[in-house]
Chain A
């Protein structure tokens, strides 16, 4: 046992007491392409060690049971040498940064998710059968996220797109403040399915600093809830086709009727300029 000379000590917040793969092997069962991991009392590194081990052993569908707040599920799956993407089913509550930097895999959460779902996600799909916390889809640059219920603050902040890569975020409920802040690309759809009749969306500063991408809103917002950098537009045919596709997908995930959702009025929020702060400086 090493003796620490630290005067105030330093607690290894996440790595202290991490068990080796050998010690945890019994938590993992693999049958062909199916794997199951019992995540009870595991720390995040242990879970991801097991997920990675399962993936490298050929599993393509991994079920995580008894997940309770462990972070970064699916983050350590950048496996360029490996063919085929992996599907992870999470029961029941994953921790922050679920699928952060996700490299094209699919994660389905059977429960609620916490902060940072799909943080800087590169590609893939995340489906949450419940609600999600703050900064959903922060800096997301590809793939799709479907959240059945509401999300917290700063959802879709700084989402971006480039070349053919356009991230999509569909939220069934409503969102909190700074929704779509700094958005530079991507498609965000906010459905407001859990709002009561006459109830407005909750967010203020929607699309503040937005300079790319598009937000589709179903349900009411007052003009003062919008950021200065967005304009409100009516839908055209292209928008309707787009909504049809992604709301349809959303409805299939959660067994809802897409047509009745699409029957309601949507508005489109777009940035008024690609360069919102172009005139701030004296050259």
Chain B
């Protein structure tokens, strides 16, 4: 069928700079650039261009520019270019429109409407360069009270303690499975987590056996509806076991790794036959209620000899506070909440862009509800989706999170440009692909260094912000809404967030 679609990007080549080195041709997995030997000229066909900027970055003479295609339909606030293009694409294929990464629609980003406090005159601020500043966070259930026994000069704790896992900074890498991302990207996350003393999350694609001993103690391993790669050794090699109920990018629906991506290694790690679709059902079929969730939580605790905290990850949806309360009562040690802007390797666009609620509101509601019920200490909360910078982390912690998951930010650190074409498997940056020609572009030594640099930079900024508030431990900020004020928010939003307006 003749396609009516307009190209998304325009490729501009400055011929006075182009030296016909053909780097752009080799770097582009979509076949945009082409060298004609007879004419000795470079040509570009922009229609398959996804705007990933790989060729622009790698062009040695800065001859290329790639920007949104100026061709447009008659401007229409309701029928936007994107709406028309999607409509035409569906008319041509009859399929579900897929997309990757997180929701890009202009929902209110509450981080940008919250401002932080700082000490002036009445209490001293702290300089983290010269004074101790504690970012270490313990994830897991805390006891109601701490009872100690003093025996001469030895003090021992007599309360029954639940397993807790320390992280050196309250930033964890979000669930991204081997299969969705390349082996190199997966290993890079593991290496960075180990080097910095934090955790990465295997997603539901399993943990390759050769990585278990080296990286297990920095891994959150997922047990999701497909139960891919879940065996007793996998569970016992990890620091934390996470039950994945939902994901912010696609609440309520399952996952689907297409068979062509299930190559030998991925099949082995997921423990499924090569070349078959890896279908994750929408629900976990042994969980239809909080009681059933409890059953799986304790099954995992039994399977790991009660040595590891069990986390439950849900998408932020309506009534999230009541759901989170049920999760804690079901026995979870950690509740991970993934909001409206959470990323994904592939999701129907209709779901990604329309289902779920913003993490800021969900987080504040959950934290408040658990406090009201007197069970906030029974779990740690990890907030995820759309954490773009250290200030977002600080605001999330002030709204009640113990730590945050970063997914998109970590990918961007490795090279991702959020072109949203993850589902094609043709990631030019070697991240979201299983094509060895592409994935070997990502050197885990270098990519993990970028990730460690990011964690170091953010952690330092967090310390600076804490110091400015006169706080010397991240714990003192948790749920401390006095350090937040809202700007440009309506009454109901301030109420849900539990934050005063600026000036109050």
Please give the distance in Å from B92's CB to the nearest CB on chain A.
Answer: 8
Question: Which of B144, B225, B235, B273 meets A162, CB within 8 Å?
Answer: B273
A interface, by DSSP: helix, strand, loop or mixed?
loop
Query: What string of 1s and 0s marks CB contacts (under 8 Å) between B356-390 and chain A?
Result: 00000000000000001111001000000000000
Contact B372 A278 (CB under 8 A): no
Q: Is B303 an interface residue (CB 8 A)?
A: yes
Which one of B93, B225, B281, B295 contacts A96 once the chains associate, using CB atoms below 8 Å?
B295
Q: Which of B145, B278, B372 has a CB less than 8 Å from the CB of A2? A: B145
Are A10's CB and B328's CB within 8 A? yes
In this complex, the interface size class of chain A, counting residues with CB under 8 Å from chain B, is 35 or more
CB of B274, distance to nearest CB on chain A (Å): 8
Question: CB of A248 within 8 A of chain B?
Answer: no
A184 on interface, CB distance cutoff 8 Å:
yes
When chains A and B are docked, how far (Å) is the Cα of A8 from the Cα of B378? 13
Complex contact A3–B145 (CB within 8 A): yes
Given contacts A2-B145, A101-B232, contact A10 B375 (CB under 8 A): yes
Partner of B374, one of A9, A11, A119, A160: A9
On chain B, the residues within 8 Å of A135 by CB distance are: 285-286
Contacts of B226 in A (CB 8 A): 139, 158
Residue of B nearest to A134 (CB): B286
CB-nearest residue of chain A to B89? A282
Q: In the complex, A275→B279 CA distance in Å?
A: 9
* A107–chain B nearest beta-carbon distance, Å: 14
Contact assessment for A5 and B144 in the assembled complex, using a CB-CB cutoff below 8 Å: yes
A111 interfacial contact with B, CB 8 Å = no
- A252 interface contact, C-beta 8 A: no
- Within the complex, which residue of A6, A75, A80, A141 is in contact with B302, where a contact is CB–CB below 8 Å? A75
Interchain CA distance A254-B232 in the complex, whole Å:
30
B268 and A154 within 8 A (CB):
no
A161 touches B273 (CB 8 A): yes
Contact of B16 with A by CB under 8 A: no
- Shortest beta-carbon distance, A103 to chain B, in Å? 4
Known A-B contacts A72-B299, A141-B271; A280 and B285 likewise in contact (beta carbons under 8 Å)? no
Any chain B CB within 8 A of the CB of A224?
A: no
Contact of A119 among B225, B273, B286 (CB under 8 A): B286
Closest to B228 in A: A160
- B294 A277 Cβ-Cβ under 8 A: no
Residues 110-137 of A at the B interface (beta carbon under 8 Å): 115-116, 119-120, 122, 135
User: Which residues of A lie under 8 Å from residue B271 when comparing CB positions?
Assistant: 141, 160, 162, 165
Do residues B272 and A185 form an inter-chain contact, with CB atoms below 8 A? yes
Instruction: Mark contacts of A192-211 with chain B using CB atoms, 8 A cut-off: 1 yes-contact digit, 0 otherwise.
Output: 00000000000000000101
- A201 CA / B82 CA spacing, docked (Å): 50
Q: Is the CB of B298 within 8 A of A7?
A: no
8 Å CB interface, B148-166 against A: 159
In the complex, which residue of chain A has the Cβ closest to the Cβ of B267? Answer: A162
Residues A14 and B331 in contact, CB atoms below 8 Å apart: yes
A-B residue pairs in contact (CB < 8 Å), sample of 12: A8-B375, A10-B375, A44-B302, A78-B233, A101-B231, A120-B223, A120-B230, A122-B231, A184-B272, A211-B277, A275-B258, A282-B93
A78-B304, A209-B281 are known; give 6 further A-B pairs, CB within 8 A.
Answer: A5-B374, A7-B374, A10-B374, A10-B378, A138-B286, A277-B277
